Structure 1
Amino acid sequence: MQSGEASWYSATFQGHLTANGERYDSGALTAAHRTLPLGSYVRVRSLATGKTVVVRINDRGPYVNGRIIDLSYAAAQALGLPDARSMRVQIERVDKAQAGSDEDGTLTTER
């Protein structure tokens, strides 16, 4: 488990290539992490709101001191997107079975 600051991608990144070759989609539940394997899943919990979301790691970053994860806009919204550019979170790697998904394979948000 890791705690620290999370930030999220700005709208200007829409469609840019991520580290695993996918195009960034602001509506997908994805994130960037410096060291976790691409394709792994992480449960992210906002320490302010208590809300959680599971994201798939598809990019590298963040490259700002003190930040531990960069979230897609959809993931940040699921956590209760604050007005500030970052929020305190706790992250924990989970396996695919714990991630939960719809029939089409897209991740679902938790409460």
Structure 2
Amino acid sequence: GLAPEIAYFHTEGNADGGPDGGNKSSEYINDIIIKPLDRHNLLRPETVESLFVLHRITEDPKYREWGWQIFQAFEKYTKVDSGGYTSLDDVTSLPPPTRDKMETFFLGETLKYLYLL
């Protein structure tokens, strides 16, 4: 799947059932918390840009493999019939509900870094 827009490390201030919510559905409940309003994915480029830079510096093929997994997830969950892509409303649901909106940075940056990777 794809990552949420924002995730929080599990700390005393971000406990499940606390004022900021929690993430009861995650198998990694002891590691991160995904708040309900942060479960969307806007197809941002920062993760794949980081993978691109790390691959260029280290030449470790795992960064390309991770980029390929992200690309496959974009194809599976965000591609629409017309050939475009859409943002996701909730990455913790399968299939994830969509937003019917593709941000411009997806074509200009996200796909660019995936191609260069």
Normalising TM by the smaller chain, what interval?
under 0.3
Whose helix proportion is higher, 1 or 2?
2
Instruction: State the TM-score, normalizing by the size of structure 1.
Output: 0.25
Instruction: State the TM-score, normalizing by the size of structure 2.
Output: 0.24
* Structure with greater contact order relative to length (CA < 8 Å, sep ≥ 6): 1
Which of structures 1 and 2 has the bigger CA Rg? 2
Whose strand proportion is higher, 1 or 2?
1
